[in-house]
Chains A and B, each alone.
Chain A
Amino acid sequence: MGESPRADATTTTGRGRSLVTGRLVSLCLVSAVVTVAAGLVQVAFGSYPTTFGEALHILLDPAMLLNPEVWRAFLLDAELPRMSRRYLVVWNLRVPRVVVAVLAGATLSVSGAVFQAVTRNELASPFVLGVSSGAGFAVLLTLVVFTGLAPFLPLFAALGGTVAFLLVYAIAWKGGTSPVRLVLAGVVVSMIFHSLQQGLFYLAEDIGAVRSAIAWTSGSLAGADWGDVRIALIPSVLSVGLALLGARQLNLLLLGERTAKSLGMRVEAVRFGMASVAILAASAAIAVAGIVSFVGLVVPHIVRTILGSDYRRLLIGCVFVGPALMVSADAVARLALRPIQVPVGVVTGLIGGPYFLYLMRRQDAMGEL
């Protein structure tokens, strides 16, 4: 067989090959650098003037970094020790916003990647499948009507997302599901929940609530604080961890239902379990950042283009690239039109929309949609 192709040089050869390839390491490093750089910009600039050096100094101050009392305040909601105004601005206003962006970027990307494997459709994402709008409706309902339940936002978001996804699944179910039916059902359910969201605005008593709700539905990190970090941290870590543990199952799902089944997988159970993980991940992000569109679609796709479709690598890539995109986009959203802030979802939408279009044009398989 003279035509045998050369093995890809980036995949290590032979047995005991490690998952860690040069590309994976480079991608993660570059993403980490971008995240840190954009994060530093976010921390240094804003309406309260600090210089870059000053911000860096405050950030790296060991008196803060190594102070357990401070971290208890940030992560466990204990009382914040006294500190100067500059420190408060950096550590209590700007840093948590970056942290929330990191969490939201990672969870949305992982969620999108998992949904793409579960539905075997590269155009799937929590946004496309109606999960975002379902979770969004639940969050809005909590913010506008049941204001006292705010600490349980991710729970309600997950509940809303689950209801939406179950609806989508039920609509798409016909003795099994198909990627096409899932996406179409997702569009329908999205529209319904979107209308419900709109309707909720009229129930809101004061204009302030409506304004923040609108900002929230387009995905905003304005005003993200350590409280948001506390809300999102555990579900984020949990869902990303579970997704990584399930990477092999996702890989097998990519081989098609028939193959997965004949290899002994309980396909619908795995699909459902992994979809739950994806819903939890999306909900963690939506609860604190609102509906940030297209991150869950674009990031997995970029990573797939660079690393290939092996989910063990793909998901790790998403955990790094997602935050890089999110933190950068939020820096643009916050600083580009100073003093006006736009919601970060507007920026990701402006990047993601054309990208989605490009994906559709490029994908021949779109014909079956």
Chain B
Amino acid sequence: MSERERVQRDRLTDSDGVAVESALVGEELELRYPTSTEPVVECARLDVPEGAVTALVGPNGSGKSTLLKALSDQLDPASGTVTLDGRAIESYDRTELAKRLGALSQERESPGSITVEDLAYHGRYPHRGVFERVDQADHEAVDRALELARVEHLRDAELAQLSGGQRQLAWIAMVLAQETDILLLDEPTTFLDLHNQFTVLETISGLNEREGTTVAVVLHDIEQAVRFADYLVALRDGTLYDWGPPGEVVTEQLLADVFGVEADVSHDPELRITPRRALADDRP
């Protein structure tokens, strides 16, 4: 199987060929954890276009979450820079950053007795002074977040009483209450049943459509990514395999190279992926 020649794009363009502004840009990134000797991710340039939904896809261990951590300033790059609106992300004050950029990581822990509503109020943290009381704006933001995440009826329920999916939605409500114009979500649909997966994805694309929220989301399911995202970033073994609008990026070659799956890709006119079989593991 020959290595496909990767498409090199200096500037992302939309369907009309107009250049797209990026909210977040990662340049010459090299990411590693303190415990690892090898870099986990190396990537020359990564764009998260403003006002669009970008999905990071790739197999387990391809560096999607690591990349997202770097974009949300949770992980300092070993080299390279992440810029938010053209300014280095580490130069932002923590509160200032938290007002612009909401991040939901996979590793979440909470005391079981916290209620959904109390969790959502924590999302207001960057908007409140140290000794400030909650005000009307906070109440409204929380109400709206609970409604968007469709957990309003669970407002007073304690997290420990909820199913895994409901708990996930409660966390999403928290990050929505933060009212940021950029959202970085690490596998928000994993472990959810189909109904709640779609709840989350519809919430995200709804926010994006109505308020122009910039979203970068790690998704496991390539078909969902194709359906809900404006741009795909495909990662393999810690490197960027390809990125761009799903129609351009998703090919049979990509599915074989990145996911190790033989599949048919058809455009009729919507992009459709029909997986056939898993390929042998000795792919290049």
Residues in A lying within 8 Å of B, measured CB to CB: 1, 3-8, 11, 13-17, 175, 245, 249, 251-252, 254-256, 258-259, 261-266, 308-310
- Write out the residue numbers on chain A whose beta carbons fall within 8 Å of the beta carbon of B72: 262
Q: Is there an interface contact between B162 and A264, defined as CB atoms closer than 8 Å?
A: no
A310 cross-chain contacts in B, Cβ below 8 A: 113-114, 118
B251 is an interface residue with CB less than 8 A from chain A: no
- Bound complex: CA of A6 vs CA of B104, how far in Å? 27
The residue in chain A whose Cβ has the minimal distance to the Cβ of B93 is: A264
> Are A258 and B74 neighbours in the complex by a CB distance under 8 Å?
yes
Q: A1-B166, A175-B34, A310-B114 are in contact. Are A263 and B105 (CB under 8 A)?
A: no
A308 to B122, CA, bound (A): 17
Additional 11 contacts, C-beta under 8 A, given A7-B156, A263-B98: A4-B153, A5-B157, A7-B157, A255-B122, A256-B109, A258-B105, A259-B109, A263-B126, A265-B94, A308-B158, A310-B114
Which residues of B (161-204) have their CB < 8 Å from a CB of A?
161-163, 166, 178
Q: How far is the CA of A11 from the CA of B98 in the complex (A)?
A: 29
Q: How far is the CB of A349 from chain B (nearest CB, A)?
A: 28
One digit per residue, 1 when the CB lies within 8 angstroms of any chain A CB and 0 when it does not, for chain B 110-151 equals 111111011100110110001100000001000100000000
Q: Tell me the complex Cα distance, A162–B94, Å.
A: 27
State whether A309 touches B74 (Cβ < 8 A): no
* 25 A-B residue pairs with CB within 8 Å: A4-B153, A4-B154, A4-B166, A5-B158, A6-B157, A11-B115, A15-B143, A175-B34, A251-B114, A251-B122, A252-B125, A254-B110, A259-B109, A261-B94, A262-B72, A262-B74, A262-B102, A263-B98, A263-B123, A263-B178, A264-B94, A264-B96, A264-B125, A265-B125, A308-B114
Is B10 in contact with chain A by the CB < 8 A criterion?
Answer: no
Docked Cα-Cα span, A261 to B104, in Å, equals: 11
* Residues A258 and B107 in contact in the complex (CB < 8 Å), given A7-B155, A15-B143, A310-B118: yes
B82 CB within 8 Å of chain A: no
> Does B274 reach chain A (CB closer than 8 Å)?
no
Instruction: Answer yes or no: B256 CB below 8 A from chain A CBs.
Output: no
Our pick among B99, B114, B115 for the contact of A264 (Cβ within 8 Å) is B99
Considering the chains assembled together, what is the distance between the CA atoms of A259 and B118 in angstroms?
Answer: 14
Contact between chains at B118 and A245 (CB < 8 Å): no
Q: How far is the CB of B122 from chain A (nearest CB, A)?
A: 6
CB neighbours of B94 from chain A (8 A): 261, 264-266
Q: A1 to B118: give the CA distance in the assembly, Å.
A: 21
Residue of A175, A251, A266 ringed by the most chain B CB atoms within 10 A: A251
A13 touches B156 (CB 8 A): yes
B108 contacts partner chain A, Cβ-Cβ < 8 Å? yes
Q: Which residues of B contact A14 (CB under 8 A)?
A: 155
Contacts of A262 in B (CB 8 A): 72, 74, 98, 102-105
Could you say which residues of chain B place their CB within 8 Å of the CB of A6? 157
Known: A252-B122, A263-B178, A265-B94. A3 touches B163 (CB 8 A): yes
- How far is A258 from B122 in the complex, measured between Cα atoms in Å? 13
CB distance from A12 to the nearest CB of B (A): 8
A83: min CB distance to chain B, Å? 44
**Are the CB atoms of A4 and B157 closer together than 8 Å?**
yes
Name the residue of chain A whose CB is nearest to the CB of B196: A1
Which residues of A are found within 8 Å of B111, using beta-carbon distances? Answer: 254, 308-309
In the assembled complex, the Cα of A251 lies from the Cα of B119 at a distance in Å of 10
CB of A256 within 8 A of CB of B108, answer: yes
Report the separation of the CA atoms of residues A353 and B161 in the bound assembly, to the nearest whole angstrom.
Answer: 31
Find the A residue at minimum CB distance from B100: A264
- Which residues on B sit within 8 Å (CB–CB) of A3? 163
CA distance A68 to B108 in the complex (A): 55
Residue of B at shortest CB range from A263? B125
Contacts of B261 in A (CB 8 A): none
When the two chains form their complex, are residues A13 and B97 in contact, meaning their CB atoms are under 8 A apart? no
Best-surrounded residue of B95, B126, B156 (most CB of chain A within 10 A):
B156
Expressed in whole angstroms, the Cα–Cα distance for A51 and B57 within the complex equals 80
Tell me, in angstroms, the Cα distance from A1 to B169 when the chains sit together.
Answer: 13
Find chain B residues with CB under 8 A from A8 CB: 115, 156-158
Residues of B within 8 A of A266 (CB): 94
A7 proximity list for chain B (CB < 8 A): 115, 154-157
Chain A, residue nearest B143 (CB): A15
Task: Give the residue of B105, B126, B166 whose beta carbon is less than 8 angstroms from that of A259.
Answer: B105
* A6→B154 CA distance, assembly (Å): 8
Distance A6 CA – B155 CA, assembled complex (angstroms): 10
**Does B108 contact A5, Cβ atoms closer than 8 Å?**
no
Interface centre among B96, B103, B123 (most CB of A within 10 A): B103
| A16 CA / B133 CA spacing, docked (Å) | 11
Q: Is the CB of A309 within 8 A of B114?
A: yes
